Structure 1
Amino acid sequence: MSAFARLCAASAATVLVLAGCSSGDSAAPAPEQKGWNDENVTFVADGLTIHGSYRHDAAAPKGPAALLISESGNTDRNGDNAVAGPVGNMRQLADYLSGKNIASLRYDKVGTGATGIGPYAANPASVGSSVYTTGAKAAIRFLAEQPGSAAEALSVFALGEGTVHAMQLAADTGGPRIQALGLLQPLSGRYLDMITNRVNTSVAADVKSGAKTQAQADEVIAAWDKAVDEARTKGTVPAQLPEGLSAVLNPTNVKAVVEADAVDPIALAKRIPAGTPVLLSCSDVDSQAFCDAEKPLIEALGQTALTVVELKGVNHVLRDDPTDNVANYAKQDPISPQLTAALDVFVAKLTAKGG
């Protein structure tokens, strides 16, 4: 597989789309763990009934609680994705947190799992980034209202593009106060700029390997650049783009992509209250969150109490896999011990605050 083909596969797994529901069984409860169980819950966000799993111990005293936000697009409460398959990493993160006496809420975003598309069925293309943000805001309010949640110890852990919504919650002075953030493999720049950088890098690799001529590479880059300009200026996009890029940007998802692209993670990071504990992970093999690419976001988080974890050989779904191949995302390997070791230190502070 060429570098460009791998780019398209990875981008399709995380792009903002509503083309189908998640592949996993979102309603299946996690295994029991010392009284900690998943309770199927619902809450409403602007007319959409959102289904989720509230993982808690009903007999436990009030304590810290965390909202988990999955990757972008058609990724459900468990991290399962219609493209990548039953990934299950967010369910594993909930299991990890309950082992640390932290309750959690994870949920099926619009277009996935039990939530489905709801009132947007008549016009799926109307679903944009703001719908996902509204869902996240409703979720954190629901979590804050639970009797077992300590208001002084609410945190948000998010993966990939989900970190944008996590930072929006932290910067929102009108919602529940977020005491800590886990930004796992975060989006570090405007959405379409990130994809453009990947296109340029991947096409260059194909030229170097002989998979493409320079003329072919130039055609792909020109077509993509033109599509990005059209999306940003007109809100439309060509029906077909070369070599699989229509999986990333197409007439069905252009509204969502343009809304996501309008949000600047760097600007959001600067709005997070000073002193907020933040854990940011990046990886030397994750093409969506290379550590070098995260440097502007890391700098923008300078006012926070920031911990940066540079993972080695860890893929985008938080597991040890130096190939970062989308075909391996659904393997039921554990979350990387490199990450859990960092989480051990980070969540110990949350437990102390909420205990």
Structure 2
Amino acid sequence: MKRIVRQLGSLLIATALVAGCSSGDDQTQQQGWVEEEVSFTDSAGLTLHGTYRHQGEDAGPAALLISESGQTDRNGDNAVAGPVGNMRQLAEYLSEKGIASLRYDKVGTGKTGLGPHAQNPAAVGSAAYSAGARAAVRYLAARPGTDDSRISVYALGEGTIHAMTLADDLEPDAPRIHSLGLFQPLPGRYLDIITARVKVDVEAAVEAGAKTPEQGQTVLDAWAAAVEEARTRGTAPRQLPDGLGAILNPGNVNAVVEADAIDPLALAAKVPTGTPVLLTCSDSDGQANCASVRPLTAALKHTALTVLDLKGVNHVLRDDPTDNVANYAKPGPLSAQLTAALDTFVTK
């Protein structure tokens, strides 16, 4: 069960928000492209810091990049997995296609930190992340170099929830989202996804002889009871077997319940008809394998949907069939399978 806790660490909302690491902005730039340090403020008064990568102020297409959940900063660097850098690489790829981009440190990460949430970090949940995304896309739309008819949003993992929220934002000042890149998306409700992973892990432990069937059932029953308690009463047990308390506990239950209340299928159904959408899944990604995302693809059938079934690609979009979290920070390019699909998608 410790394995599932480690694997879920890069997917799930952090049990305690702390500042994440950042790989900085001293990367070699393509000629004429500038990485500008910027900041903007969300509706809660939190100042978010980010990198606006652009080339002059002639209006052109622009993209907002939203990183994975938890302690993952603007560059895709994660306090658990290390300096992954995949979102920085995505920004650099988009530059090659003439697309400006904004990536930012979410609440609790990088230069942004907790701000006004510092007094109650356990209360930070999906609403705070969505507020940051809304502020970011409005900032991007207001830049002189942004063609507001060509704003795209590219997001990874749990970030895809906030990307779809932006596509359905009906506020008067909300920019229209031209297209969405939903990479390795969260395919269902938060606690349902965890429950499925727990069942797989317990079954594997029983089959390997590490647990008796009775011991396995005890773990499943305890987890099921904890999920029911969280959903019906908004509380969590102080102890759970096999390290599952790291995923759900009294300190993070409010954030978990808030995330669990979001149904990605309902959000997908509200994405405007005809919106170009690129959705990826991978046979090597235990968090977003292609079978698990099929209901999401069905919910997006009214869009101009492209589904990319990746082979041997890990959750951080690099070629690695093991999808081992320990390998996420190993240097390497984004998978050529992804960039080949993007070569066509960015022209839509």
Interval of TM-score (by shorter of Structure 1 and Structure 2) = over 0.9
Distance 1:154 1:19 in 2: 30
Deviates more, 1:228-237 or 1:142-151: 228-237
Separation in 2 of the partners of 1:317 and 1:155? 20
Q: 1:293-318: per-residue Cα shift (whole Å, max 9, x none)?
A: 11100000010000000000100000
For residue 8 of structure 1, what is the aligned residue in structure 2? 5
Q: Which of 34, 58, 61 is the equivalent residue of 1:61?
A: 58
Note if 1:197 corresponds to 2:196. yes
Q: Does 1:335 align with 2:331?
A: no
Write the mapping of 1:114-193 to structure 2, written as runs, cut at 5 A.
Answer: 114-174=111-171, 175-193=174-192
**TM-aligned CA deviation for residue 89 of structure 1:** 0.7
Tell me whether 125-134 or 137-146 shows the greater mean CA deviation.
125-134
Deviation at 1:250, TM superposition (A): 2.1
SS in 2 for 1:348: coil
Q: Shift of the alpha carbon at 1:328?
A: 0.4
TM-superposed deviation, 1:239: 2.1
Q: Hey, what's the Cα distance between the residues in 2 that align with 1:40 and 1:241?
A: 43
Contact 1:77 1:109 survives alignment (8 Å)? yes
Cα deviations by residue, 1:187-219 (Å, 9 ceiling, x for unpaired): 011111011011111111121122222112111
Letter in 1 for 2:78: N
CA distance in 2, matches of 1:216, 1:112: 38
**Percent identity over the alignment?**
62
3-state SS of 1:42 partner: strand
Q: RMSD across aligned C-alpha pairs, in angstroms? A: 1.1
Q: Does the 8 Å CA contact 1:22/1:85 hold for their aligned counterparts?
A: no
Contact 1:66/1:102 (<8 A) preserved:
yes
**2-structure distance, mates of 1:247, 1:8:** 7
Counterpart contact for 1:21–1:111, Cα < 8 Å: yes
- The SS at the match of 1:293 is coil
Alpha-carbon shift at residue 85 of structure 1 (Å): 1.0
Instruction: Return the alpha-carbon distance in structure 2 between the equivalents of residues 6 and 145 of structure 1.
Output: 44
**Residues 217-296 of structure 1 mapped to structure 2, 5 A cutoff:** 217-296=216-295
Contact 1:12 1:247 in 2 (8 A): no
- Whether the 8 Å contact between 2:11 and 2:287 is mirrored in structure 1 is no
SS at match of 1:205: helix
Deviation at 1:247, TM superposition (A): 2.1
2-side partners of 1:19 and 1:128: how far apart?
10
Per-residue CA distance 1:261-316 (angstroms, 9 max, x = gap): 10100011000110000000000010100101111000000100000000001000
Letter in 2 for 1:321: D
Q: Is the 8 A contact 1:182 1:278 kept in 2?
A: yes
> Moved runs in structure 1, 4+ residues, more than 3 A?
none
TM-score (norm 1): 0.95
- Which residue, 72, 77, 82 being the options, matches 1:75? 72
Amino acid corresponding to residue 160 of structure 2 in structure 1: T
Counterparts of 1:210 and 1:101 in 2: how far apart (Å)? Answer: 55
Shift of 1:332: 1.5
**C-alpha distance in structure 2 between counterparts of 1:336 and 1:6, whole Å:** 25
Whole-angstrom CA distance in 2 between matches of 1:251 and 1:110: 21
Asked whether the equivalents of residues 281 and 311 of structure 1 are also in contact (C-alpha less than 8 Å), the reply is yes
User: Of Structure 1 and Structure 2, which has the larger fraction of its residues in helix?
Assistant: 1
Alignment check: 8 A CA contact 1:124 1:252 kept: no
Q: Tell whether 2:22 aligns with 1:19.
A: no
Q: What is the CA distance between 1:96 and its match in structure 2?
A: 0.7
Unaligned 5+ runs, structure 2? none
Q: Report SS of the residue matched to 1:282.
A: strand
Q: Is the contact made by 1:69 and 1:166 (CA closer than 8 Å) also made in structure 2? A: yes
SS of 2:36's equivalent in the other structure is strand
CA distance in 1, matches of 2:246, 2:11: 10
**Are the aligned partners of 2:67 and 2:74 in contact in 1 as well (CA < 8 Å)?**
yes
Partner of residue 111, structure 1 = 108
1:50 aligns with 2:58: no
TM-score of the superposed pair, with normalisation by structure 2: 0.96
SS class of match (2:177): coil
Task: State the distance in 1 between where 2:40 and 2:303 align.
Answer: 31
Q: 1:38: which partner in 2?
A: 35
Which whole-Å CA distance do the structure 2 matches of 1:163 and 1:145 have between them?
Answer: 22
CA distance, structure 1, for counterparts of residue 342 and residue 253 of structure 2: 36
Matched position secondary structure for 1:13: coil
**Residues 154 and 182 of structure 2 are in contact (CA less than 8 Å); yes or no, is this contact kept in structure 1?**
yes
Report if the CA contact (8 A) 2:46-2:116 is conserved.
Answer: yes
Give the partner amino acid of 2:277.
V
Cα deviation, residue 139, structure 1: 0.4
